Structure 1
Amino acid sequence: MNTMMTALVLENFADEQFSQVQYPVPTAGAGQVLVRIHASGVNPIDYKIRLGEAPYAMPELPAVLGTDMAGVTVAVGDGVERFNVGDEVYGLTGGVRGLQGSLAQYAAVDVDLLALKPRNLSMREAAAIPLTLLTAWEGLVDNAKVKPGQNVLVQGGAGGVGHMVVQLAKAMGANVWATGSTAKQSLIAQLGATPLDYTALSAQEIVNNCTSGQGFDIVYDTVGGQVLQDSLGMTRHYGHITSCAAFGEHNLAVSSLRCATLSGVFVLMPMLSGEARAHHGEILEAATRLIEEGKIHPVVDIRHFNLDQALDAHHAVQDGSASIKVVIDIE
C-alpha cells in the first residue's frame, strides 16, 4: 500500500481554491479502520465550512474537508471486530473540527460512525446518503417516533434531507405529503409522497385539504425561517414538529396551544462531541437493510467531479443547480 496520499486542504476560509497536497497515509488507531475513499458526498455544510459560515463546526486550518464518504477498508486497528479488510463501508465521518474529511485518498475513521455499504448501490450512490439519511432518521424516528398510519408532512420534500424523510416515512408505513416548488412536484410524487405546491397553497389550506383541518401527526421541517414558523401551526393536538433548520428566533405560542412537541436535529453532534457515535452506525445499518429492500434510494446529480474539480462540486450545491446530491469521485 502507498505510504503517501493525495488530499485537498483548505488553508484559508473564503478561499476559492483548495490546495492539493501529499500527506502520509494515516494509521488506523484503536477503534478505527483505515478506509481507501472512493467517493465523497457534498452537503451544504461543506461549502459553509469552506466559507467560514459554520462556527459550530469549524476545523482548525489547514484542514481536509468532506463530510460523507464511501470506500473500502484496507487496515483494521486494535479492538475492531465489526469490520474486516476489504469491507465496503460508508458513513458521515469527518470534515469538522479535528476529524479529517473525505477529500483525500485515505482516512482513519472511528468504526462507530460506519456501516457496511448497501450491496445494491455504487460507491457514488452510497456516498450521497449518510448525512441526509441520518438527519432524516434522527428527526422522524428518534424524535417524532413515527408510526404506521400517521400523517406526515415534509417541508421541502425534494431537498437533500427532505427526499430521505419522504422515503423513510413511507418505509415506516406513514401517509406522506411533501411541499416543493412547481418544478419539483413530479419528483416528490416519484419518491412516494403526495406533492404540495407551496407557491399555490397556504399553510392553512394544506392543513384543511390534507387533514380536514385536524393537522398532521408529524411535520418535518427542512427549510427553517418562515416555513418553520408556519409549521408550528400545522400539527394536530399533541402532534410533533421536528426541524433540521431551526436556527432562527420563533414564536412558539401556536404550537404550545396545540400541546405540540418541537424538537431539533443537529446531525454533526456525535462527530463534534464524541457522544452517541455508535447510534449513527446503528442507523446506517438499518438504512442499509431498507436500501437493499428497495425502500430508499438516493437521487444523485449526473455530473461527475474529481478532486481537481472539488470547488466546482461545492458551487453546484451552493448555487442550487444540483439534482439533490453531488458526489466527488476520489478513486
Structure 2
Amino acid sequence: MKAILMREPGAAGCLAYDEVSLPTIDAPSEILVRLRAAGVNPIDTKLRARGVLVPDGLPAILGCDGAGVVEAVGRDVTRFKPGDEVWFCHGGLGGLTGNYAEYIVVDATIAQPKPRSIGFVESAAAPLVLITAWEALYDRARLGEGQTVLIHAGAGGVGHVAIQLARLAGARVCATVSSPEKAAFVHDLGAECAINYRDEDVTEMIMSWTEGRGVDVALDTVGPAVFRRTIPAMAHYGDLISILDPGPDLDLHEARQRNLRISLELMLTPMLQPLPQARAHQCEILRRCGELIDRNQLRIHVSETFPLSEAAAAHRAIEAGHTQGKLVLTMDHE
C-alpha cells in the first residue's frame, strides 16, 4: 500500500510518499480499514519536526484521525462487518500505525460508525478536535447553561467545534479571530462576540461584553502568551483550560487572586498510557458527536483537501498559520 513515511524528524520535505506492507489483523478484536481520508492536525507537524512520542517509533506513519471502510474483521468482532463505514482517532504517534496511509488496523472498540449525514472527508477531519473540545469544555470546565465562554482561535480546528459545543450547552460564546472573514465565520457558528486580536484589546473587549465581570470559562488553543493574557479577562472562580503547555515562566499570582481553576487538556493521553476507561470515554464522545452531526446540530468545516501524496504541502499550510477549520488528506486507491 501507499503511505507517507517519516524516517527522521525535520521540515515538511522529510515526509516521503512510499510503498509499505499492508497491515494485517493480528488480534481477534481488530479490524482492517481501507482509509478514504485522514485528518491533518498541528500535533502531526510537531511530531514531524521534533520527533515521535513512541520509543523506537521511526520510521513512522503520522496521522491520528481516520475515516474509511471496513475491509476485514477479526474472529471476535461483532460490532462491524466488511463494508461498514467508520471513523476514529487512533495511532499516528510513532511506528507504522498512523492514518497517512491507504489502510490501517485498529481495535474494533476504538472505531465508531461514521456519521451518515457527512462524507469521509468531514468525518476524518473531526475526531481529535471533537474529543479535545468536549473534554476541555464539558469534562474539565464542567460548562453549564448561561455561562460566558471565551474560545481563542475560534475559526481554527478545535475552536470552530468548541464554539458549537459551548452553544449546545446553553453558554454565551465570544471568540478571538484574526480577520473580518473569520469573524463572520464564528458568528455563523453561534459566537455572540468576535474579537479581532490584531486590532482590538481582548481583555477590554471581554470586560465590555461581560459588563466588567470577565468570562466564566476560557479555552486557550494558542499557547503560553495567550494563556497569560487571558487571566485578567477571567471572572472570579472561573475555569481556564489550555490544550498546550502554558510554559515554565508562569506567574499565577493574578490567577490565584481570582480563585481560578486551571486545567490542562491533552486528548492523546489515553493513546500513550494504559487507560482503558479514558479511552472508552473518548469513544463515547465520538459516538455522541456523531449523533449531533446527524441531527444537524454540529458541523465540521474543511477548508482544503490534499491527495495523500501531498501531505508535505498540508503540513506547510498548517505551519503557515491561520488555517480556517481543518485540512484533510484523501486516498484515491488507484
Give the deviation of 1:263 after TM superposition: 0.3
Secondary structure, counterpart of 2:200 in structure 1: coil
Q: For residues 31-50 of structure 1, what are the structure 2 equivalents within 5 Å? A: 31-50=29-48
Give the 5 Å matches for 1:11-22: 11-14=7-10, 16=13, 17-22=15-20
Match for 1:186 among 184, 187, 194?
A: 184
Instruction: Give 2:282's aligned residue.
Output: 280
Deviation sequence 1:229-271 (CA, Å, 0-9, x none): 1222222221111110234132111111111100011111111
Per-residue Cα deviation, 1:109-159 (whole angstroms, up to 9, x for no partner): 123332211111110011110111111011001111111111111111111
Gaps of 5+ in 1: none
1:10 maps to which residue? 6
**Corresponding letter in the other structure for 2:104:** A
Question: How far has the Cα of 1:176 moved from its partner?
Answer: 0.7
8 Å CA contact retained: 1:49, 1:57:
no
TM-score (norm. length: structure 1): 0.92
CA contact (8 A) 1:93 1:110 kept: no
Q: How does 1:156-171 map to 2 (within 5 A)?
A: 156-171=153-168
Equivalent residues in 2 for 1:124-163, closer than 5 Å: 124-163=121-160
Over 3 Å counting, the alpha-carbon distance change for 1:225 and 1:321 in structure 2 is closer
Q: How many Å separate the matches in 1 of 2:174 and 2:325?
A: 19
Residue of structure 1 equivalent to 2:326: 325
- Cα 1:316–1:104 change in 2 (3 A) is same
Q: In 2, distance between residues paired with 1:267 and 1:189? A: 27
Q: How does 1:222-301 map to 2 (within 5 A)?
A: 222-249=221-248, 250-275=250-275, 276-301=278-303
Paired AA for residue 271 in structure 1: M
* Higher mean C-alpha deviation, range 165-174 or range 178-187: 178-187
Bigger shift: 92-101 or 189-198?
92-101
Look up the equivalent residue of 1:6 and give its one-letter code: K
Q: State the SS of the aligned residue for 2:21.
A: strand
Contact 1:28 1:76 in 2 (8 A): no
Amino acid at match of 1:197: N
SS of 2:311's partner is: helix
- CA drift at 1:98: 4.2
Q: Distance in 2 between matches of 1:72 and 1:246?
A: 36
Q: Which sits farther off after the overlay, 23-32 or 173-182?
A: 23-32
Greater mean deviation of Cα atoms: 5-14 or 115-124: 5-14
Deviation at 1:284, TM superposition (A): 0.3
Query: Structure 1 residues 56, 255: closer, same or farther in 2, change over 3 A?
Result: farther
Displacement, 1:166?
A: 0.5
In the TM superposition, what is the alpha-carbon distance from 1:312 to its structure 2 partner? 1.3
Structure 2 CA distance for aligned equivalents of residues 203 and 315 of structure 1: 29
Q: d(CA) in 2 for partners of 1:112 and 1:180?
A: 37
1:65 pairs, out of 62, 66, 69, with 62
Q: Distance in 2 between matches of 1:121 and 1:104?
A: 21
User: Are the equivalent residues in 1 in contact too, given 2:87–2:123 (CA < 8 A)?
Assistant: yes
Q: Secondary structure at the match of 1:284?
A: helix
Once the two structures are overlaid, the 10-residue window that deviates more, 185-194 or 55-64, is 55-64
Q: What secondary structure, in the 3-state scheme, does the structure 1 residue paired with 2:20 have? A: strand
Over the residues paired in the alignment, what is the CA RMSD in angstroms? 1.9
- Code of the residue aligned with 2:123 in structure 1: it is A
Distance 1:79 1:206, change over 3 A: farther
CA distance in 2, matches of 1:149, 1:77: 47
Deviation per residue, 1:41-74 (Å, 9 max, x gap): 11111122122x2564676111111111101112
Determine if contact 2:8/2:51 at 8 Å carries over to the other structure. Answer: no
In 1, Cα distance between the equivalents of 2:225 and 2:20?
Answer: 46
Q: How does 1:107-122 map to 2 (within 5 A)?
A: 107-122=104-119
User: What is the percentage of aligned positions where both structures have the same residue?
Assistant: 38
Q: Which consecutive segments of 4 or more residues in structure 1 shift more than 6 A?
A: none
Q: Read off the aligned partner of 1:262 and give its amino acid letter.
A: I
